Amino acid sequence: MQYHKHEAVIVGAGGAGLMAALYASKSVDTAVISKLYPTRSHTGAAQGGIGAALANLEEDHWEWHAYDTVKGADWMGDEPEIEFMCREAIDVVIELEHMGLPFDRTPDGKISQRPFGGHTNNITKKPVRRAAHAADRTGHMILQTLYQQCIKNHVHFYDEFQVVDLILNDGKVAGVVAYEIATGELHVFHAKAVLFATGGFGRMWKITSNAHSYTGDGNAIALRRGIPMEDMEFYQFHPTGIRGMGILITEGVRGEGGVLINNEGERFMDRYAPTVKDLASRDVVSRAIYLEVKAGRGINGEDWVWLDVRPETVNYYFERDDIRNP
C-alpha cells in the first residue's frame, strides 16, 4: 500500500474536474485521480458546441440564455445558479480561447456560433446562434486544452486509478482510497479537500451514447458513506443517435438544417414546437419522437424515426422557413 498527501484531491478528469483542478492549482497542491487517461474522459463525446451569448453573429443576451435554460428545465432549475452560469459563460468561453482552444472562426475572426436546441431569440422566439464550436470536436478540444493547462500548472495526475472509498476522520472527509488498475495495488490519498467530478451513470440504460466508464462510481461511494444525492430523477435524454448503436448524432446536425421525419414523410416537429421545430429543447424533441412512435408513425412501424440531412431536404426547409443556410 502506498500513501500520498495533497491539499486538494479531485476525482474525475473530465471538463469539470480539469477546470476545478486548474483553478485549485493556482493556490494549493492539487491532484487529479481518474480511472481513465484524462483526454479519454466522456467530455470528449460533446460535439456540437458550448452555449454562451457572445452575440458574434446576431443579437443575443445572457438573460435570453438564462430564460431558455429555466424554460428548458420546466421551471424546476435553480434560478440563481442558472443566472450565474449563463452570465459567466461568456467570459469562460473567452478564457478557453485564451488558453488555446481552437474555436472555429467567422470570416472576420470572431468565434463562430451555430444554432442549438432550445437556444432562442426571446423576442422573435426563433432559433439563435449561441453554441461556440470547434468543428464537431468541441468537447475533445476542451479536454486537450484544459489538460495541457493543468500540466503547465503542475497538477499531479494519477491516471487509471479507481477510487473505491472516502476516508472519514471524525465525520469529515480526509481523503480517498484507490487502487491502481494496472497493478491492483491500493493507494491512500490524504487531502484537506476532496471534490468528486465523476460524471453520471448513463450505462444503466441498454442503448446509450454514454461511455462504458459512466457507471456512477462517485454516486455509489458517496451513498455508502451516507452523503445524500439530489435531483437524481433529472436525467437528460439526447434525442438523436444511430439506431441500436448508441452513437451520438450531435444537435449541431439539426442546427445546420437536419430535420426529423416520421414514416409518413412528415416533419413532425412542426406540430410539437411550431416556432423552433427541430431545435426545441432535448426533452421536447425526445418526447415528440416517443409520441410519434407510440402513435404508430415510427419508420416501418418500429421504434425509430429518420433524421434527414439530404441537401434537397435541408434546402427545402430553409427556404420554406425563410432561414439563411448557415
- In contact, 43 and 142? CB cutoff 8 Å: yes
User: Is 282 a catalytic site residue?
Assistant: yes
Q: How far apart are CA 254 and CA 229, in angstroms?
A: 34
The 8-class DSSP code of residue 238 comes to: P
Q: Who contacts 293 (Cβ-Cβ below 8 Å, separation ≥6)?
A: 302, 303, 304, 305
Sign of CA dihedral 144, 145, 146, 151: positive
Sequence-ordered strand ranges (E) for the chain: 2-11, 30-34, 50-51, 113-120, 127-132, 156-159, 161-169, 172-180, 186-196, 241-242, 247-248, 259-261, 306-308
Active-site entry in 87, 137, 203, 282: 282
- In contact, 41 and 200? CB cutoff 8 Å: no
- Containing 68, the helix (H) or strand (E) segment is helix 62-72
Q: How far apart are CA 226 and CA 213, in angstroms?
A: 23
- In contact, 196 and 13? CB cutoff 8 Å: no
**Which residue type sits at 4?**
H
- In contact, 278 and 269? CB cutoff 8 Å: yes
Q: How far apart are CA 162 and CA 135, in angstroms?
A: 32
Q: How far apart are CA 232 and CA 200, in angstroms?
A: 10
User: Which among 292, 275, 13 is positioned nearest to 160, based on CA atoms?
Assistant: 13
**What backbone phi and psi angles, to 5 degrees, belong to 70?**
-65, -45
**What backbone phi and psi angles, to 5 degrees, belong to 243?**
-55, 130
Give the active site residues.
282
